[in-house]
Structure 1
C-alpha cells in the first residue's frame, strides 16, 4: 500500500505553560520538565473533531491537487468524537461529496490511526476498495479539564488526513507501507482504567499515569522489536523513528531501550502536546523532508485501554 498524499491541520489558538501555571499554581517550567511540552494547539469555539477533519482534507486537496472523486473508503479515527452517530467519516464524506464510498469510524485510543491504516490496507489488499482516505482528529480540550494537575496540561487538538492506495511499482507515491501490526492489550496493567473518557462523568482523565507510562514504554519497545524481527532489520536500518507523542520522557525511554540515536527520533511534543491518535501521522509529515529514497521509517504507538500499533514505511522518492 502506498501513501500518495498527506496533510495536517493545526488550530490557531495556542495554550502555553503560563496558562496552566495560572490555573494550577505550578511554575511554567514544571510542565516542560515533566512532559517536554511547552505549547499545545487548541480548537476554537466554532471548531470540533469533524470540522478539523474536514479542514485537514481540504489542505490535502489544496497541497496535492488530488481529485478525491474516486475515494471509495473513508476511515475516521478518533477517541474524542463530536458526534457518535454522524461520525467524522460521514461528515467528511458529505462535505466532499464522496458518493458511494464506505464510511467507517474506529477508535483504539492513541493507536487509532495505525488501526485505520491497517483497516484500509485490508480493504485494498482484498479488492474491496481502490483508494482510501484516512482522517484522524482529536479534540482533547473538549473533554479535558485544564485544572486537572495530573493530565490536564498534556492535551493538544489537531487533525491529519492521508490518501492511500494499492502499491504501484515506480508510481508517484512518496511513502510505501511495508507492514502494519496492532494488538489489543486490555488484559494487562490497569487496562481500560488507565486512561478513560466518560463525557457525562469526569471527562478525559488519567488516574493511573505511572501504569500508563510503564506499559507504554515496554509495549512500544516490544512492538518495535517484533516489527524489526519480522523483516530481518536492526534498529540501525531505521532512518526515522516516529513514536506516539504522549510525553517526552516516554519517547526518550523508548529511544534508549531501542538504542536509537536522538537524531533518528521525530518529535512534535514540545510544540503540539499530546494530539492523540493524530500525533504519529502529523509528526511523520513534519519530518518527511528529512527522508531520501530507500530510507525506512517506523511508527509506533500506545493507546489507553490498552493497545499498541506499529507501521513500517519506506521512502520512495
Structure 2
C-alpha cells in the first residue's frame, strides 16, 4: 500500500528564494528532514540555508529525522514559508577559527615583546603562562575535532567575525600584550604560594572540564540532536560543571600570570557562561520535567 501523500503550498519569506517551488508533495508520515531535503534540492541550495515556518501560526518547523510532517500540524494544502538564512558556516569550523587566535597571538607576542627590563628574555612566569594558555586552547581545538557533537550544523557565516573577536582580541591580543611586556607582573620572580595553587586550579579545571565534555558527548549520537540528563563529576552540584571547571582553570591562569587582562577575560567568559548555564537549566526543566533533579545553582555552587 502506497504511503499517503500531502501537497504543501510553498511561499518565500523575506527575500525571494531562487528556484523555490510553488508546492511540494511528500509522504504525510515522512520526517520533516525530507521536506527540507526536497526544498533544498529544488531550490539548488543546502538545507542549512533554509528555515521553514507554518503559514497558519508562524511556528518553526524543525529539520528532524524523528519528527513526522503530520505531527507538526501541517495538512493537505497547508502553506509553509521558506526563508533563506544566507551563507552558512559549520559550527566546528567556527570553533576551530576562534581558538586558533590565541594559539597564534600568544607565541608571537612572547617572541616579539622584550620580556624583561634588561632584555634577558622571558621570565619563568611568562613562559609558564604561555604554556598554560597554549595547552588550554590546544585542548579546545582537539575537543572540537574529536569530542564535541553539535545540535546545530551551521551558523550565519558573517557571525564568525563577531564570535572570533572575543578570543582573538580579548584572550589573544589584549592578554598577551599585558602578560609579556617587560614591565608586566609576570616578568618578575614567581611566588610559590601563588603560582602552585594557580597550577593546581588549572590542572583540576582542565581535567574536570574534559571529563564533563566526554559525558555530554555520550548523550548524543553522531549527527543526532537528542538530549539527555548528564550524570558525573560536578553534575550533582550545578547544571553546567563544565563551565565551573572552565572558570576554575582561568582563575588558575590568572594567578600564574598575575595580570588584570587575564582577570578581565575570565570575568567576561564566566558571565557569558553563566547566562548559557541559566538557559540550560531552564531547558532541562522544560524537556525532562519531573525526571530532572532541579539545580539551585547553574554554574558556581553557592554563587550562581
Please say whether Structure 1 and Structure 2 have the same fold, judged by a TM-score greater than 0.5: no
Q: Which is higher, the Rg of structure 1 or of structure 2?
A: 2
Hey, which of these two has a bigger chunk of helix by percent? Answer: 2
Q: Normalising to structure 1: TM-score of the pair?
A: 0.24
Higher relative contact order (CA 8 A, sep 6+): 1
TM-score (norm 2): 0.24
